[in-house]
Structure 1
Amino acid sequence: MTTQTIQESGTAPYIAAVDLGSNSFHMVIARIVKGDIQLLHREKQKVQLAEGLNDELVLSEEAIERGLQVLRQFADTLQPFAPQSVRVIATYTLRRARNSATFLRRAKTLFPFPIEVISGQEEARFIYQGVAHFEHFNGRRLVIDIGGGSTEFAIGEAAQPLRLSSRNMGCVSYGKSHFSQGRISARRFSRAIIQAEQELEPIVSSFKTAGWQQVVGTSGTIKTIRDIITGFGWSNGAIELEQLLKLRDYLVKFDHCQQLDLPGLTEDRKLLLCSGLSILIAAFQMLHIDQLVYIDAALREGVLYEMSDRMQHMDIREQTMQSLVTRYDIDQAQASRVRATAMALFEQVKISWQLDDEDALLLGFAATVFEIGLHINSSGVQKHSAYILQHANLPGFNQEQQNLLACLVRFHRRKIRADEIPYFSLYDIPVVINLLVLLRMAVLLNQKRRDDFLPPLSAQAGVQQLQLQLSPDWLQQQTVLSADLQQEQKLLKKIAFKLEIPALQDLLCQADSGNTTDV
């Protein structure tokens, strides 16, 4: 299906999800029809990014170039799409690579859509959502997805995930470490299975306690194993441990993966079969799985459904924030005051600073949870708050959104340490600074924690500059606030940002005049 025919197939909104996996890059194009997803077009390109990740977690130039080449192709297909209609998700390899920023910077020059690197738990959540929306099931189920660099596990009911985990074991990475150059032996299988079992050990108790009535497998690795087993006539479609062990015993008769000629095994899967089978055997044995069925839905379908929800103003990030508010017993009245002030200032400066709705959303989230660290201690609350947000599982947030949230909260008061502001691929530093200034002003102006405290606010913005208009009579009565605003001017000046408050300047001039005596 060509891009032209996709664009001509109706008037319903078009969306696209791109999955930058460790083994393959996938692209799915769909349209939203009466709230449901109608798939129109799929593309898959083998990249094997994880193959280029060395022991020091540095991605090779060859792997980077392979990935960029595929992004060039995808960019051509997606050329008619608006940026908000495309979501690009990067998983294990770009999550782990120490030089992932290099890949992201170079990708920006040829691929016009932002690339979101997500956490392992977020990856597991998307996979579960893809399965849950693809096929309804009455009961609790376990979902397993074996990727190139990691394997995701999720337990949930209906559309609600209950347990999420991402383990650092994948068919490409295990292929490199246990079946190097495609060599096969019983000893290699044994080592791979034992290592996978060790990797699974930390989650076994929690997952078995949660329990399930159905086990679902997704991804190309599990599909290939199912196709081989059914091709041999060992199964009618469901996978059981006995069949997996039988396949392992069959494979050890061969010395090399290239010798394999099995039903359902494509050429590009030969080097991944043994490692993927080892991981699946370990999962069956450790979790005591009786039977697994394959479903043709995964991360990218989950991304599409969440995009559809956002377009209908159902953003899971709102639920995540409310969950944090409840869990950490945040002072909701104060959070509301700060958020209202931040939003009032945002509306007045957004055009000058070229801020958008997503920036407003993240600023509002930061204002909602800036005091989350009070749960630990009021001293150094900004550091405690940032730590919680940096390390918490935040469904709906990619890694950079989570980092930005933590950064805004970390520097909502006291000194701003520019060298501690992380590198962002999705956000320009001036935008980060501008959002930070708005949050700081909102917190500072609401220090009395009163609903009737603030007068009407007026703000104007320029490049690295904010002018705040306050009533001189009102400010004259707020001696502590006036001193704090003077201090804030000095702190912002250290990061080359100018905060102008004419009413404050007038008060200082009056004070200087009153202190002058005739000689």
Structure 2
Amino acid sequence: MRAAVADIGTSSSHLLIAEAQAGGYRVLDTLKLRTMLGECLDAAGNLTPEGEDRLAHALTQFAELARGAGVSEVRVYATSALREAPNGSAVAERMLERTGLYPTIISGKREGELTYLGVGQSVELGADNVVLDLGGGSLEFVRGDRLPSEVLSLPLGSIRMTLGYVPDGVGSSKQTEKLRGAVQRALGPHLARFAARPSTDSVQTQFLLSSGTAEAAAEAIAALRGERVANVNGFSFTLSELHDLLERIRKTKPAARAKIAGIERRLGTIVAGLATLHTALEMLGAQRITVSAGALREGMLVEELSRLSAFTQSLSPRQRSVLSSAERYGVNLAHAQQVAELSRQLFDSLAPYTVFPPEARSLLTAAAALHESGQIVAQSSHHKHSAYLIRHAGLAGFSPREIELIAQIARYHRKSPPKPSHSEFMALAGPDQKTVSRLAAILRVADGLDRAHSGSAQIRELSPHKAGWRLRVTGATPLDLAGAAAKADLWQKEFGPLSIEEN
């Protein structure tokens, strides 16, 4: 089982492709591109056409590498740069049109939670951990034990702080003092949530850093100690050593700073980045800090592989036959899993009010898993190709009648709903026609709710409302909401009007 994830930051965009293994995963390929979206913002904060071109170029390369590794789609999350850009959502939709990948814009809280998950894959977490993740636009703070419990995102990223306080990259005393004041004002109201707690015999607060700036600091401090380290993951240093490194860099002429190990690739932002981290750690009462190489994308990967694993393990023997066919046809399993789960939730909410045959839920799950299998033939009319492939896939455990119903449910997941002019549909018995139409109606809405292929939409409630239904969802992207609304036509015919609310 393989997955590909990418995170789009203010300075860099990263791709990670890996394969699940017992107890973890094996990295197959990585790619880091210096997209520098933070440089491509206009006066209103919108991403400029140049920024869009940089992003499109990166996403195109990511998609090509993923396909070469046998992964049909890349899960892409965008952080501060697009999150704060007024045109961020519009840019994401244009990226889907240009590259086939949709960068889902995630909140600072979600970013922190995923980063914590990634850190936990790289270093040993204790009973009380505080993670600081410094990006180009924001600084995330996360506290937890095995799982995160407190998350905070502040606009204190290294590029933002450089532009605001150290634009020349020099780092004079006056510049760093102003920067320290800004960090203190921003973090001060939240100290109680993330400060070091009194140590006991069993619990001591562990501070961890995850970012390129933190790794650069670790490499530089190791060199100053005279130590040679092949990998800085798990490397620890004291707050005093971090302070000494910052002062050493500040007192070294900019032209000579490149000779300091580890910082040569971050000369423009290193002073602001280190000063921000040092100020925050000092405020929190940290004495020793450990660096984690795992961060957001590693957390994304763990979550993605966990989703796929849960999906496959929950299947019945005959649904495993469906999964085998989906893999053979190169189906995007992450999207298939999301659509199948949303379909089942919609079905379960309708079941108390609507009569379905006993096998309906299983047929719907199979159709959801295979609804895009026809894309292996062609994108155009892939719903028709899906129906053909399902009929000839040799699905085990299903009768010929059930296979035909699965094929037709998948066939009607997009484009035209069933019509009297469709001979294959008209050849079905009356009750089977009703089953196909109703289950296809559910599948269409579920597929629309993952139009962005972000996997983020969750159903909170489906309930009768006036003459129809009210669907409340959370986590849906604007593209998901538009997709569900556009595909609710058959639902309205079968069950009545559907209103969709995001909250």
- Does the CA-based 8 Å contact 1:117-1:400 persist in structure 2? no
2:93 to 86, 94, 105: 105
Q: In the alignment, what sits opposite 1:18?
A: 6
SS at match of 2:29: strand
Return the letter of the residue paired with 1:169: L
Partners of 1:282 and 1:234 lie apart in 2 by 26
The offset of 1:354, in angstroms, is 3.4
1:431 aligns with 2:423: no
Question: Structure 2 unaligned runs (5+)?
Answer: 199-203, 229-234, 313-346, 365-404, 416-438
Identity of paired residues, percent?
22
Partners of 2:28 and 2:355 lie apart in 1 by 39
1:214 to 192, 200, 206: 206
Q: How do 1:448-459 residues align onto structure 2 when only pairs under 5 Å count?
A: none
The offset of 1:399, in angstroms, is 12
Partners of 1:78 and 1:340 lie apart in 2 by 43
- Does the CA-based 8 Å contact 1:35-1:308 persist in structure 2? no
Partners of 2:355 and 2:171 lie apart in 1 by 61
1:189 aligns with 2:176: yes
The offset of 1:155, in angstroms, is 1.3
Q: In the alignment, what sits opposite 1:248?
A: 246
- Does the CA-based 8 Å contact 1:226-1:238 persist in structure 2? yes
- Assess, with a 3 A threshold, how the Cα gap between structure 1 residues 409 and 174 changes in structure 2: closer, same or farther: farther
Q: How do 1:54-453 residues align onto structure 2 when only pairs under 5 Å count?
A: 54=42, 56-80=44-68, 86-158=74-146, 160-208=147-195, 213-233=205-225, 237-254=235-252, 257-313=254-310, 341=353, 347=364, 351-354=411-414, 424=477, 426-427=479-480, 429-434=482-487
Partners of 2:113 and 2:95 lie apart in 1 by 26
2:29 to 35, 38, 41: 41
- Assess, with a 3 A threshold, how the Cα gap between structure 1 residues 252 and 115 changes in structure 2: closer, same or farther: closer
- Does the CA-based 8 Å contact 1:17-1:28 persist in structure 2? yes
The offset of 1:427, in angstroms, is 2.7
Partners of 1:36 and 1:67 lie apart in 2 by 30
- Assess, with a 3 A threshold, how the Cα gap between structure 1 residues 244 and 182 changes in structure 2: closer, same or farther: same
Return the letter of the residue paired with 1:354: R
Partners of 2:453 and 2:154 lie apart in 1 by 17
- Does the CA-based 8 Å contact 2:9-2:136 persist in structure 1? yes
SS at match of 1:181: coil
The offset of 1:15, in angstroms, is 1.0
Q: Structure 2 length normalisation: TM-score? A: 0.64
Question: Structure 1 unaligned runs (5+)?
Answer: 1-12, 316-334, 367-397, 438-460, 469-484, 493-519
Partners of 1:411 and 1:269 lie apart in 2 by 57
Deviations along 1:106-156, one digit per CA (max 9) or x if unpaired, are 322332233211110100001100111223334221111100111111112
Deviations along 1:152-174, one digit per CA (max 9) or x if unpaired, are 1111212x111111111101111
The offset of 1:294, in angstroms, is 0.7
Deviations along 1:89-119, one digit per CA (max 9) or x if unpaired, are 1111111101113422332233223321111
Bigger Rg, which one: 1
Partners of 1:39 and 1:188 lie apart in 2 by 41
Q: How do 1:484-499 residues align onto structure 2 when only pairs under 5 Å count?
A: none
After the TM superposition, which of the residue ranges 336-345 and 281-290 deviates more from structure 2?
336-345
Q: CA RMSD for the aligned pairs?
A: 4.1
Partners of 2:484 and 2:173 lie apart in 1 by 56
Q: Structure 1 length normalisation: TM-score? A: 0.63
Deviations along 1:479-500, one digit per CA (max 9) or x if unpaired, are xxxxxx7xx6xx99xxxxxxxx
Partners of 1:307 and 1:400 lie apart in 2 by 11
SS at match of 1:44: strand
Partners of 1:343 and 1:24 lie apart in 2 by 52
SS at match of 2:209: strand
Return the letter of the residue paired with 2:414: Q
Return the letter of the residue paired with 1:129: L
- Assess, with a 3 A threshold, how the Cα gap between structure 1 residues 432 and 412 changes in structure 2: closer, same or farther: farther
Partners of 2:64 and 2:115 lie apart in 1 by 27
Return the letter of the residue paired with 2:493: L
- Assess, with a 3 A threshold, how the Cα gap between structure 1 residues 281 and 429 changes in structure 2: closer, same or farther: same
SS at match of 2:298: helix
Partners of 1:167 and 1:86 lie apart in 2 by 28
Partners of 1:413 and 1:222 lie apart in 2 by 56
Return the letter of the residue paired with 1:173: R
After the TM superposition, which of the residue ranges 180-189 and 422-431 deviates more from structure 2?
422-431
